[in-house]
Structure 1
Amino acid sequence: MSVQILRLILLLVMPAFLFGFKLEAQHVGELGSASALREHYPEVLETLRRLDQAHGVLLYELAIEGGIVRSSGTDLPTFGFEFDMIDRMTSVVQGEGEPEDGEIAEAGLDALGSRAAEVVRWGRAFQREVISILADHSVMHRSAHLEDAVALYHSRPGAALTSAPKNMDILYDHAFALDFRTGYADLDGFIWAGHWFRLAATEPFTDIDPGVERKEGIDTVTNRYFSKLTYGEPPEFFPSEIPLAPAIAPGLIWLSPQAAMIWDNLSMYLEVLADVLASPDVPDVPGAIEAITDFFMDPELAVTDQDEWEIMALRHGIFFQGGYPLSVMTQSELNVDGHAAHFSSGGGPGLTIPGMPRGR
């Protein structure tokens, strides 16, 4: 069967039923309404919306692509897939996408199954709410409001990731580790640029008082994000390490370590999900996604403390994670690259995800 025919078949069945998952619409309720962002900084909210849409489109297409690669019996990505997706996702985040992109993005989340889709939607709603609290001119005690947002987030235990930071070793040690990064490095970098923007967008709100300078700070972050999509020289290029709060958003950690830990757990969760969707070897996609979700929701399994989380994130390099939001970095502050810094830290025994189906 040709790749074109297989792709057509998958496109036809995807919207209704993929990998045996039941599709259910999810609603995030009041968390994520982001009223302050909507009122005072609508351009930030719009960029966040476009980033979420681009990521959903990628999940949709990556689920199809992974099925094609596994059916082909090889581990080679489809020729041209990555280039075409970079072009398409860039159009989405620039506001030049297609009318159907919104529906495709929702189908991309649904491709994860109803449970994982709910986790991602609820996590994105939480991120929007955190940024909106930071942006709210009327909030005097932001730490208390962020604490309330964390409590509301955890009020849905079926959708909330743990606020205990997961050990980063899981990114390198699970059964299909680095399959997305290895097969589609630029797509991974594109997603990481979006992670950078979400974190970087908190800094003008945590560091600068309302007024002209804050608006200039927001413009700086936005312009730096779009410059990362230009294939220039770093920092005008995709991050080469996954952006994490200790490196990019220290102000958020100062106000609410728990919110920042949830944020980073969501970023790592999405990375491992992408590994599974892209892997040429995964024998059971739904089973793997369920195991991943169990792992990231478990408050005791493979967690670390705040100090170790911050140290490990910084060892991966601020520069490699996209650089400071409000000042320019043109070279690394480390004497090794971020990936090497992870392994040079000593680490511990390799981590596994309980219940994760092994490769074929």
Structure 2
Amino acid sequence: MNMSRPARALRHAAVTMSLLGSALATTPAVLPAQWSTVYEQFYLQAPHNWQFRTHYAHADRLFNAFDFGHAILYETLWRFPDKPAEELEVRRYDQLVKRVLPKPPRLPLEEGAIEPKYAQLAPEAKVMFDWAHLLHRQLYDVLADERLDWPRKDAEVARLLTYYRTRPELAFSRKPKTMALMQEQSYSLAFRKKYPKFNGLIWGYHWLQMGLYEPFMVGRTVEEKQAGVRATVTRFWQMLQDAPRSLPHQMPMTVVVAPRFAERYPEAAIIFDNLHSMHDVVSDILTNPAVPRSRKRAEILLAAQRYRDDTTEVMSVPAWRVMSEHMGAENMGGPAVGFLPALPIPSVTYGAVMRHDAQSGAMIGFGYGSAIGDAHAGHNMVAMPATPVKGAAADPHAGHAVPTASDSAQVAALVAGFHEALAQGDSTAALALLTPDVVIVESGAVESLAEYRAHHLPADVAFARAVKAERAPRQVTVAGDVAYSVATWASRGPLEARAADAAGAELIVARHTAAGWRIAAIHWSAPRPR
């Protein structure tokens, strides 16, 4: 009987799982107490299934290699905790980069056959990863299906996300999680410190997984999309040339690597950022000897619970965007589309730690998780002041603390919060972010706070609610108690039955006050449509 490739893959997976089940049946009696009942669930049936594999096979096969790499990593960390770092940094790394990635498997692998001991340790976490990876592959299929126009693609993405949420015991939260879960636990940073090259490879995987969405968002023809996918894959290979220096120095965030995808499908982008963050957490738990072997399963399950719930270490979507941007595109490998021939030069040491406020996205600390080479030796996590120095609160002009990365992030979060308030129609929240003596320069007029409230504010709220404005990456400069934010913007959409197409620049001046950073002046260079 002839079988299709997907059918043969399913049959192979079923046989593998059957053999694995037989092997587990002979294990000591202690294991059933650790085992949790889980079940397999496959693609949501749709005409677009396997479109990406059919038309972009060279990229699709890399994901099979990535799955192999993740499985080998967890199995090695769990089974051989006492082996020297060279086991992963040299032997396994070379196996992946020189043998597996150049000739990746043609079809997805059964990871349980590669990581049987880890699968026994934490099957719940393994299936969480599998379920999210399945969502990844189905979204590629939707975007790769040239028979679907954008409204139908949007509908299919929504249908897939609904399908994903039918497994709440497996689904990552749709709310962004702070970096505290990944970088501020007792076991955090162990993996990136001990295995910087392999950690960088994992981050490179995540860069490509997110980056391959972007060519489909910007390509206008099949040829442009094909060329974009090839360029993104080539960029990934470029990252491997001088590991770990050439690999991402920070965990790639979707907002930065694939900004158009994150803008159009924020729920999916958030799920994938949470997925990639938990990958790091599991690596840290397995690596850190401070977590006894008897506690590793419990810690992994606790982390999995935190990444599934909608309450633990949650931040707002605007704060997630600000945090991602201020981690630095240059530190994540750069964007997946429109990059320059040379790799970007990171602005932080490898594995730098950035802490932030959960609500605003503003960083409140900065340090280094690990170092590469003698030039960075000795750097450890450094606490930075989260509040103004004594005296600044009582007198807004008494002398703010020396500007830090925290200040620029707070100013960026302030500006993002102002635009978000306008878009939500919350004029009270928007006005609360302005100083009493604010100056608004707009449409050829200069207005005070009272004049702005009475005149242009209602029109700005109406415009922000009706029309989607896209802003270029924001530049923030801090000089003592004053900071300014510069960005360009473009908008397109209906407004009162007319097209609202406009473009311009925005300059916002912020001042540090007793209440923190507040907007003291705004200048929009292009008039708003009336």
TM-score when normalising by structure 2: 0.56
Deviations 1:98-141 (A, max 9, x none): xx996653537615522111101001101111222111112222
Match in the other structure for 1:264 = 273
**Which residue does the alignment assign to 1:356?**
none
* 1:116-131 pair list within 5 angstroms: 116-131=125-140
Equivalent residues in 2 for 1:291-310 (5 A)?
291-310=302-321
Contact kept, 8 Å, 1:166 with 1:304, in 2: the verdict is yes
Q: State the one-letter code of the partner of 2:364.
A: G
Q: 1:139 to 1:61 in 2, by over 3 A?
A: same
Encode CA deviations 1:317-341: one digit per residue, 9 max, x unaligned.
1121111213227475886568668
**1:94 aligned to which of 90, 97, 102:** 102
Q: Which residue of 2 aligns with 1:354?
A: none
Q: How does 1:1-360 map to 2 (within 5 A)?
A: 16=24, 20=31, 21-22=34-35, 26-31=39-44, 34-66=49-81, 68=82, 77-90=84-97, 91-95=99-103, 104-107=113-116, 110-140=119-149, 141=151, 142-231=153-242, 237-283=246-292, 284-326=295-337, 327-328=339-340, 330=342, 342-343=354-355, 345-347=362-364
- Partner SS, residue 342 of structure 1: strand
Separation in 2 of the partners of 1:179 and 1:336?
A: 18
Partners of 1:130 and 1:49 in 2: CA distance: 16
Which structure exhibits the higher relative contact order, with contacts defined as CA atoms closer than 8 Å and separated by 6 or more residues? Answer: 1
Q: Is the 8 A contact 2:196 2:244 kept in 1?
A: no
Aligned mates of 1:114, 1:103 — CA distance in 2: 9
* Counterpart code for 2:340: V
> Relative to 1, partners in 2 of residues 1:273 and 1:316: Cα closer, same or farther, differing over 3 Å?
same
Question: How many Å separate the matches in 2 of 1:111 and 1:328?
Answer: 45
Are the counterparts in 2 of residues 241 and 316 from structure 1 also a CA contact under 8 Å? yes
SS of 2:267 mapped into structure 1? helix
Letter in 2 for 1:291: L
Give the Cα–Cα distance (whole angstroms) in 1 for the partners of residues 57 and 343 of structure 2: 33
Query: 1:241-289 CA distances to partner (integer Å, 9 max, x unpaired)?
Result: 1111011011211221001000100000111011001111102111111
RMSD over aligned Cα atoms: 2.9
Gaps of 5+ in 2: 1-22, 357-361, 366-530
One-letter amino acid matched to 2:197: D
Q: 1:303 to 1:102 in 2, by over 3 A?
A: closer
Do the aligned partners of 2:180 and 2:355 also contact (CA within 8 Å) in 1? no
**CA–CA distance in 1 between the matches of 2:206 and 2:156?**
23
Residue 61 and residue 213 in structure 1: after superposition, are their counterparts in 2 closer, same or farther (change >3 A)? Answer: same
Distance 2:255 2:307 in 1: 19
The structure carrying a bigger strand percent of its residues is: 2
Q: Give the equivalent residue in structure 2 for 1:353.
A: none
* Helix, strand or coil at the partner of 1:238: coil
Cα drift, residue 208 of structure 1: 0.4
Counterpart contact for 2:331–2:348, Cα < 8 Å: no
Counterpart CA distance in 1 for 2:95 and 2:38 is 25
Paired residues of 1:56 and 1:104 also in contact (CA < 8 A): no
- Count of residues paired in the alignment: 323
> What is the TM-score of this pair, normalised by structure 1?
0.81
The alignment-based identity, stated in percent, is 22
Change (3 A) 1:305 1:132: same
Kept after mapping to 1: 8 A contact 2:177/2:274? yes
Q: Rg: which structure is higher? A: 2
Change (3 A) 1:37 1:109: farther
Rounded Cα–Cα distance in structure 2 between residues aligned with 1:103 and 1:298: 26
Shift of 1:343: 4.1
Deviation string, structure 1 residues 27-52 (Cα, Å, up to 9, x no partner): 23124994221232222221112211
Larger proportion of helix: 1
Contact 2:142 2:156 in 1 (8 A): yes
- The 1:112/1:138 distance shift into structure 2, 3 A limit, reads farther
Q: Which one is further off, 154-163 or 322-331? A: 322-331
- Secondary structure of the corresponding residue to residue 215 of structure 1: helix
Rounded Cα–Cα distance in structure 2 between residues aligned with 1:133 and 1:322: 26
Letter in 2 for 1:271: D
Find the aligned partners of 1:314 and 1:333 in 2 and give their Cα distance.
16
Which residue number in structure 1 is paired with residue 4 of structure 2?
none
